[in-house]
Amino acid sequence: MSSAYEAVIGLEVHVELGTRTKMFCGCPTDFGGEPNTKTCAVCTGQPGSLPVPNAAAIEAAISLGLALACEVAPRSQFHRKNYFYPDMPKNYQISQYDVPICADGHLDVAVDGTSRRIGITRVHMEEDTGKSLHVGGTGRIAGADHSLIDYNRAGIPLLEIVSEPDVRGPEEARAYLAELRGIVRALGISDAKLEEGSMRCDANVSVRRRGDEAFGTRVEVKNMNSLRSLQRAVAHEIERQGALLDAGEAVTQETRHWDEDAGRTSTLRAKEEVFDYRYFPDPDLVPVTPERADVERLAAALPELPAQMRARLTGGLGLSDEAAVTLVDAGLVVVLDEAVAAGAEPAAAAKWLANEVLSWCREADVDPAGVPLAGDALAELVDLVARGTLSTKLAREVLVGVLEGEGRPGEVAKARGLEQVSDEGELVTLVDEAIAADPAAAEKVRGGNDKAIGALVGAVMKASRGQANPQRVNELLRERLTS
Ligand code: ADP
Ligand code: MG
Ligand code: ZN
């Protein structure tokens, strides 16, 4: 695409709340179980049943709104959003419409060290749909033999966070979603897993000629299930629209589906217009009117948010910006704080987390935010390295053992036989053997060729299977050959 265009992007994010029960009934929200076993008259839309809003979900919505610097509406309402959807048993979704619970906030996101403020239009409450399972064919509805419906998810509380069209590129879209995910996780209101669908993001993308005021026609892109996938999908969509405009064609307003494997978007359906939904206030639900005192209590109870965490990590703990961003995004600050509290040097603990621990998580497909590593175990590992009991190389192996549940670092080092040999007697024997085995190298060192010592150190290290302390080996060799 020629740089004559500028991208305009607005993001709609859905977060599935981790409340114990559903939005309007007492059914459990926990994952799994036989289909259609976590349902009741309310969430399957039986005539005569009445919804009752979940107070914990309302509090979660207010907390998120406050964390995003929104105004909390003193009075908001639930509306019915009507459409035919086989996995919505009521044939409408309870959502919010003209007055959402929170509005007019903002979120600052940084790309390459430059921070930009993205407006938050609204945060509103709604309920999730059930799930359709298309049997036969490719698993999509076209070509399926029949479809099965599981209503366990129907009625699970959702928050929808809508941004202003302030995002200007794929990296910024990714940074926005990462930051929002960090805030949601810090609040503890959802596990916000993009890969598992407890956080979902739709991207509205348009392009316009640079310098133009008016927005171009927007396309809504769905089905991105990771940060990377959002970034790729947005980049692809900007390209596609730019190419259309370059060719003198128009962009069609529609909803497109991102295909992760093919790396492109395809038409899903024409975009619904708001009047298609026939919104009206739900007559079964009274307005939501939070007390001022409750809002103040929630504001006072806000935890440390990602931006504040990063500031503390780079300020007080002296970490680099990059390390702070990595640890905060990965949800590893709790482990870092515990390790530091247990006496670990912050930079050393941060380095282990950002490198070894994260790469282990990636390989083992474990969410770093739930990594099975206690902060004081990390502190012990850092200490074993600092004291020379473990070389960095051996400590990596010990860490893997700890992560695999084999015990504390000291125990793992013993059990796996990984402790550095610092028993002098044993080292002296190995050193003497190395000198005897390579008299030529020994002669060179005696003659003043300092570099020749490398071969002897290498031999000792090999003989000790990497467990000798190389510094001590070096010292012992020198004592023997140069004095
Ligand atoms: P809908 O509910 O139909 O998707 P909304 O008014 O809620 O419509 O807007 C959805 C998102 O689209 C918002 O994030 C908004 O910022 C974004 N948006 C609106 N117009 C444009 C545009 N021309 N280009 C890109 N994004 C846009
Ligand atoms: Mg939309
Ligand atoms: Zn129910």
Please list the residues that pair with 159 across neighbouring strands.
15, 125
115: burial class by Cβ within 10 Å (0-12, 13-18, 19+)?
exposed
Q: Which residue has the tokens 């990602």?
A: 306
Cα gap 52→90, rounded to integer Å: 15
Pairing of strands 79-82, 199-209: unpaired
Ligand nearest the Cα atom of residue 24: 3
Ligand nearest the Cα atom of residue 29: 3
Please tell me if the CB atom of residue 12 comes closer than 6 angstroms to any atom of ligand 1: yes
**Where among 365, 391, 415 does a domain terminate?**
415
Whether residue 315 is predicted with pLDDT greater than 90 in this model: the reply is: yes
Please list the residues that pair with 10 across neighbouring strands.
204
Q: Cα of 140 to ligand 3 centre, how many Å?
A: 27
Q: Cα of 11 to ligand 1 centre, how many Å?
A: 7
In a shared domain, residues 273 and 402: no
pLDDT at 271: 67
pLDDT at 157: 98
In a shared domain, residues 360 and 250: no
In a shared domain, residues 332 and 475: no
Cα gap 390→398, rounded to integer Å: 9
Please tell me if the CB atom of residue 201 comes closer than 6 angstroms to any atom of ligand 1: no
DSSP calls for 174-234: HHHHHHHHHHHHHHTS----TTTTSEEEEEEEEEEETT--S----EEEEEE-SHHHHHHHH
Two tokens at 436? 């005897």
In a shared domain, residues 406 and 476: no
pLDDT at 393: 87
pLDDT at 274: 66
Please tell me if the CB atom of residue 161 comes closer than 6 angstroms to any atom of ligand 1: no
Question: Among candidates 82, 107, 239, 231, which has minimal Cα distance to 179?
Answer: 107
Which ligand 1 atom is the nearest neighbour of the CA of 12?
14
Ligand nearest the Cα atom of residue 122: 1
Cα gap 6→238, rounded to integer Å: 9
The total domain count for the chain is 3
In a shared domain, residues 326 and 460: no
Which ligand 1 atom is the nearest neighbour of the CA of 272?
3
Measuring from atom 14 of ligand 1, which residue has the nearest CA? 10
In a shared domain, residues 275 and 319: no
**pLDDT band of 49, cuts 50, 70, 90:** very high
CB atoms within 10 A of CB 254: 16
Q: Please write the tens of the pLDDT for every residue from 423-457.
A: 778 888 989 999 999 999 999 999 888 888 999 99
**CATH number of the domain enclosing 434:** 1.10.10.410
Whether residue 411 is predicted with pLDDT greater than 60 in this model: the reply is: yes
**pLDDT band of 158, cuts 50, 70, 90:** very high
pTM beyond 0.75: the answer is: yes
**pLDDT band of 483, cuts 50, 70, 90:** low
Q: Cα of 23 to ligand 3 centre, how many Å?
A: 9
**pLDDT band of 2, cuts 50, 70, 90:** low
Q: Cα of 50 to ligand 1 centre, how many Å?
A: 33
Residues 29, 33, 35, 38, CA torsion sign:
negative
201: burial class by Cβ within 10 Å (0-12, 13-18, 19+)?
buried
Please tell me if the CB atom of residue 241 comes closer than 6 angstroms to any atom of ligand 1: no
Question: Among candidates 270, 81, 215, which has minimal Cα distance to 160?
Answer: 81
Please list the residues that pair with 266 across neighbouring strands.
257
Whether residue 325 is predicted with pLDDT greater than 70 in this model: the reply is: yes
Residue 178 neighbours by CB under 8 Å, 6+ apart? 227, 329
Q: Cα of 290 to ligand 3 centre, how many Å?
A: 24
In a shared domain, residues 115 and 90: yes
Whether residue 78 is predicted with pLDDT greater than 80 in this model: the reply is: yes
Two tokens at 389? 């009991």
In a shared domain, residues 399 and 468: no
- Alpha carbon 38 to chain centroid, angstroms: 28
Q: Cα of 417 to ligand 2 centre, how many Å?
A: 58
pLDDT at 422: 64
Mutate to test the pocket of ligand 1, among 218, 222, 268, 274 (most ligand atoms within 8 A of CB): 218
Mutate to test the pocket of ligand 1, among 162, 268, 277 (most ligand atoms within 8 A of CB): 162
Please tell me if the CB atom of residue 162 comes closer than 6 angstroms to any atom of ligand 1: yes
Q: Cα of 96 to ligand 2 centre, how many Å?
A: 13
Whether residue 38 is predicted with pLDDT greater than 60 in this model: the reply is: yes
In a shared domain, residues 288 and 409: no
Q: Please write the tens of the pLDDT for every residue from 198-218.
A: 999 999 999 999 999 999 999
**pLDDT band of 31, cuts 50, 70, 90:** confident
Q: Which residue has the tokens 């610092």?
A: 422
List of long-range contacts for 112-117, beta carbons under 8 Å, 24+ apart: 112/171, 113/321, 116/166, 116/168, 116/172, 117/166
Q: Which domain holds residue 374?
A: 304-415
Give 33's DSSP letter: S
In a shared domain, residues 235 and 368: no
Q: Cα of 13 to ligand 2 centre, how many Å?
A: 9
Mutate to test the pocket of ligand 1, among 204, 230, 238, 271 (most ligand atoms within 8 A of CB): 204
Q: Cα of 155 to ligand 3 centre, how many Å?
A: 7
Q: Which helix (H) or strand (E) holds 112?
A: none
pLDDT at 472: 83
**Where among 364, 387, 415 does a domain terminate?**
415
Measuring from atom 22 of ligand 1, which residue has the nearest CA? 218
Whether residue 380 is predicted with pLDDT greater than 80 in this model: the reply is: yes
Cα gap 172→11, rounded to integer Å: 11
**Where among 391, 415, 439 does a domain terminate?**
415
In a shared domain, residues 250 and 148: yes
In a shared domain, residues 268 and 348: no
Region 328-334 average pLDDT:
93
Q: Which amino acid is at 407?
A: G
